[in-house]
Amino acid sequence: MVFSPSSERLYRHQPQVVPGTWSFYPRAPGRPSRNALMSFIHEKSTHPNDVPHDLYPATVNRQGTRYKLTRYTTALTGQEQEPASPRPTLQQEIDLLDPSAKWALQNFSCNDNDETIARAIQDSTALAISDGSYKRLKWNGVLGH
């Protein structure tokens, strides 16, 4: 599970149920206990676009129908992160390929800065399809002789 301090919710990514599915546990009413443990109840599904960006790995204990947050960690607590350099787009990477390797990507097109492809990979809905023609010693592709 992961914790979002901004929404005070626990989140769970559940691609095995339905690809891209997330669920969350809202904080239970009332104040945290003396040792500052927050309690969470009633699992609810949510759309991936509604999941906050401040998710941190969390340790929780299940107590009946409730989860108690025992701790969470931020990756670089107390350290400044260097600004990320922009990553090349898939089209830029394809342009750098050796011409002999570009044959399979001649008609590549992506108009949304690779967002659709990235989201499909994150949501476990991306599909890779091959006709088998990459096997140099076998002719079992759909275009085989």
What number of CA atoms fall less than 13 Å from residue 13's CA on the CB side? 15
Residue 137's pLDDT band, with cuts at 50, 70 and 90, is: low
pLDDT of residue 140: 47
Q: What is the mean pLDDT of residues 50-66?
A: 87
Give the model confidence (pLDDT) of 70-126 as tens digits.
888 876 544 444 444 456 777 887 888 888 878 777 777 777 777 888 788 778 888
* Per-domain residue ranges of the chain: 2-72, 90-122
pLDDT of residue 10: 92
Are 44 and 23 in contact by the 8 Å Cβ rule? The answer is: yes
Helix (H, G, I), strand (E, B) or coil at 26: strand
Q: How far apart are CA 109 and CA 69, in angstroms?
A: 44
Q: How far apart are CA 72 and CA 56, in angstroms?
A: 6
pLDDT of residue 31: 67
